[in-house]
Amino acid sequence: MSLINKIRCALTLGQGVLVNMPDLDPSIDPYAQFKAWFKSAKDCGIVLPESMTLSTVDEEGQPSCRVVLLKELSAEGFVFFTNYASDKAQDLTTNPKVALTFHWNILQRQVRIKGVVEKISSADSNEYFQSRGRGSRIGAWASHQSSVIASRSILEDNVKHCTEKFANKDVPLPEFWGGYVVKPISIEFWQGKADRLHDRFSYVRDGEDWRVDRLSP
């Protein structure tokens, strides 16, 4: 992290840790609140502020967590991409209920989201896929995500094969790869405070509106 970004990080402490955060206006859409916090995370130089922990549950009730990247905040919700044959995708097929967590440590902020996932359209998945670097697109074809492989050389051979297969061609969207949107039913904003007297505001979906409550830390 550069000196300038370190200074920015220090200055942003005053936004919540040292200064009271005002009560959130119930009339403000939680998406707007998220966008404001996300911008603060980017502006202070946090590496990959779009990183979010995705929690799923398999058919046996075993939870799993992993970090994925937020690629879009659409009108419907939070969008990420993956291999549809991966472990996470299998969990989502069994149980579409998920949780997301964003943690921006230097700001002492978390956002916790509960919701339900749906696949996005193939057209939208393809639009994002074609924006990726060629190497990443070939990698999506070469990796059978979450499957067991005997050695890295197998993966490298797959990459070589796919590179030759798509030589001098566009790399198409694989049928087994695409995006999901997490449609939130609740969004909680958590601001760290001194003496662990944190500020917590919970938005809960209520029809077409949101109910907002302050929660005890």
Alpha-carbon gap, residue 118 to 189, rounded angstroms: 23
Task: Give the pLDDT of residue 22.
Answer: 58
pLDDT beyond 80 at 155? yes
pLDDT beyond 80 at 208? yes
Same domain, residue pair 91 and 163:
no
Same domain, residue pair 38 and 69:
yes
Same domain, residue pair 64 and 102:
yes
Q: Which residues of 85-101 are buried (b: 16+ CB within 10 A; e: fewer)?
A: ebbbbebbeeebebbbb
Same domain, residue pair 201 and 107:
yes
Q: Are 100 and 182 in contact (CB under 8 A)?
A: yes
Token pair in block for residue 215: 């929660």
Per residue in 27-69, pLDDT (tens digit) is: 678 999 999 999 989 998 899 999 999 999 999 999 999 999 9
What is the average pLDDT across 152-161?
93
pLDDT beyond 80 at 13? no
Return the beta strands (E) in the chain as ranges. 51-57, 63-69, 72-73, 78-83, 97-104, 109-119, 177-191, 199-206, 209-215
> Which residues, at least 6 apart from 20, have a Cβ–Cβ distance to it below 8 Å?
199
Same domain, residue pair 121 and 39:
yes
Same domain, residue pair 64 and 158:
no
| Residue 136 pLDDT class (50, 70, 90 cuts) | very high
**3-6: long-range pairs with CB below 8 Å, 24+:** 4/45, 5/44, 5/45, 6/45
Task: Give the pLDDT of residue 171.
Answer: 96
Per residue in 69-113, pLDDT (tens digit) is: 999 999 999 999 999 999 999 999 999 999 999 999 988 999 999
Among the listed ranges 6-20, 21-35, 109-123, which one has the minimum average pLDDT value? 6-20
- Whether 196 is a known active-site residue: answer yes
Same domain, residue pair 37 and 48:
yes
| Residue 7 pLDDT class (50, 70, 90 cuts) | low
How many CA atoms within 13 Å lie on the side-chain side of 205?
14
Same domain, residue pair 109 and 182:
yes
Tokens 């917590």 belong to residue: 200
Same domain, residue pair 66 and 159:
no
Q: Which of 66, 109, 134, 196 is catalytic?
A: 196
Same domain, residue pair 98 and 44:
yes
Distances (CA, A) of 131 to 50, 89, 145, 211: 17, 22, 21, 37
| Residue 145 pLDDT class (50, 70, 90 cuts) | confident
The pTM score is 0.86
Q: Give the number of domains in the chain.
A: 2
Same domain, residue pair 123 and 191:
yes
Here the CATH number for the domain that contains residue 38 is: 2.30.110.10
Same domain, residue pair 48 and 71:
yes
Q: Residue 140 is part of which domain span? A: 131-172
Average pLDDT, the chain: 89
Q: What percent of the chain has pLDDT over 70?
A: 88
